[in-house]
Structures are given as C-alpha cells and as structure tokens.
Structure 1
C-alpha cells in the first residue's frame, strides 16, 4: 500500500458502506475538537485493521462471515473477531497481526484505501472495495488530529 499521486481527500463516493451506529471517536485517544461535525474526513491520523485478498470471491467470502455474525444485525464487529477473520483470510503480512495497520497519516496509503479509511466511522466496518493492491475491507479503530 504505497502512496500514490491521488493523496487529496475527495470525499466518499459511495464506497465503503458502514455498519449502522458508528460513533465519532469512541475509544479515540485524540483530543476531541468540538465544532467539526462527525469528524469524518477531517482527522490527520486513523487507526485501522483490514483484510486484503487478491480475488474478489475470497474477500466476499471473508466479508460474509462478518455480515452473518454482526453486520446484518446492525452490530459493530469486535476487533478481536475482525482479527480472527483477518488472520484466516488476509493475504497481507498484517494478517498475522489480525490485520492491524496501526496509526497512519493522510498521504501514506493509496487513494481508494485512504479514502475509505478516513471516511469510515470509528467502530464501523467498510464494505469490500478495490484498490491497486487487491480487494479490502476495513475496520476503523480510531482517529486523531
């Protein structure tokens, strides 16, 4: 997931449908700045987990597990459960760490990945999406300035 030439945030374009009930900062360790709406797309750093698969069929299979267990009920996916799916399905080296990518700033990740990561509410899971590296879905764990 390298940086690409499209590092500016152009807002969400319908990609990354989130689970219901996402909260702004939940367990965020950042300094909550009032007056910034829901904070989506305005933070400087995000903390995410993800699953990466080369084939769309495999990412859909992994995502179906989360849908059946939590998302269809409007529940948030617990990070420990997301980590199990990432360990079993992700083809990224981060899969061994439950898909944990830690904190990263704007401009570090490729365009589509960055767009979804910075526009998924904390605690929510994105829908599968395609990037230059394959197919992903993301669990947003935090945001800060």
Structure 2
C-alpha cells in the first residue's frame, strides 16, 4: 500500500502529495505511481474538485510595460527604463487599441514588447493561485472571464494588460 496521500495546502488552497513515511511533499504526482494508483490515494478527490489539478487557480498572460518607478526598472529590452508611469500607460493604451480584444494579437504584442521574461511565451504566466501574484494583478486575473482582456492594471512591477486564458 502506498505511503502517499493527497492533502490540501493551507497557504495556497491547492492539493499536494504527501508521503506519510518520509514526510516528503510535492506539488507533482510522485514518480512511479500510475494514474489509477493516484486515484486510489487517500484524499485523491481533492485533485478533481473544481478544475482538475488547477482547482482554485487561474491561467493568465500579460503584457507588461515598466516605468522608472517600477520595482525593477529594467528588462530584457532595456537595461535602464526611464519612462514615467504616464508614458508607460500611453504605450500600453496603444497596444490595447491594436489588440482590440484579440488573444492572438495580445500574444503577438506581448512577445514583441512585454518587459517581462514571459514575453518568450507570448506573455503566458501559466497557472497560479491566490497569493502568488501582486494583489492588483491577482484581482484583475480572477475578475476576468476566460478569453477576456483587462483594462490597464498598475502594480509594483509596472502597468499591465491581463488576458485570462484559463
């Protein structure tokens, strides 16, 4: 009988795997367990509540424009960002007009222009839960319907457009 069980993280509200014998924990399924064996684990129902293994999480992309008051005013494109927050918002509004609600255009512009390393994935940040992103960003992502794009959001990182993808 497996020593693994599924528990719910108190801090993130997400399921994780816990080995009662070794006290090891992991977000990912333990190697060597088949899908059927995982389904038999104590607490396995936590894995399928809500949206499968991403219960309570959202998936989002963003297009970030940093400014001189950003937490880290540099990026893959510019080593020293000197624009004002107002200039950053103006730039982002220009992108917003080009995107015009299109997720494909969003990804294209994020790839070319986002000041985040996620630019190489079209701005995709993957799945995340509450408490993992800055509050204004998190609120925007959770507040959007899948496929919708936010208005300009300001965080400590800069100004963003957020596309909820999951």
Q: Which has the higher contact order (CA 8 A, sep 6+)?
A: 1
Q: 1:141 to 1:65 in 2, by over 3 A?
A: same
What TM-score results when the alignment is normalised by the length of structure 2? 0.52
| Superposed structure 1 runs of 4+ greater than 6 Å apart | none
1:116 to 122, 140, 160: 140
Residues 138 and 127 of structure 1: CA distance in aligned 2, closer, same or farther (over 3 Å) = same
**1:30 alignment counterpart:** 51
> Which ranges in structure 1 are unaligned for 5 or more consecutive residues?
1-6, 8-28, 32-42, 71-75
Query: Which of 95, 117, 125 is matched with 1:101 structurally?
Result: 125
- State the match for 2:65 in structure 1: 53
2:102 is aligned with 1:77: yes
**Equivalent pair of 1:52/1:91 in contact (CA under 8 Å):** yes
Larger radius of gyration: 2
The residue matched to 1:82 in structure 2 has which SS? helix
* Count of residue correspondences: 98
1:88, distance to aligned residue in structure 2 (A): 1.5
1:36-65 CA distances to partner (integer Å, 9 max, x unpaired)? xxxxxxx71101010111134245334433
* Aligned equivalent of 1:64: 94
* Structural RMSD (CA): 2.3
Structure 2: distance between partners of 1:97 and 1:69? 17
Q: Which residue of 2 aligns with 1:90?
A: 114
Instruction: Report the TM-score, using the length of structure 1 for normalisation.
Output: 0.59
What 5-or-longer segments of structure 2 have no aligned partner?
1-11, 13-49, 68-84
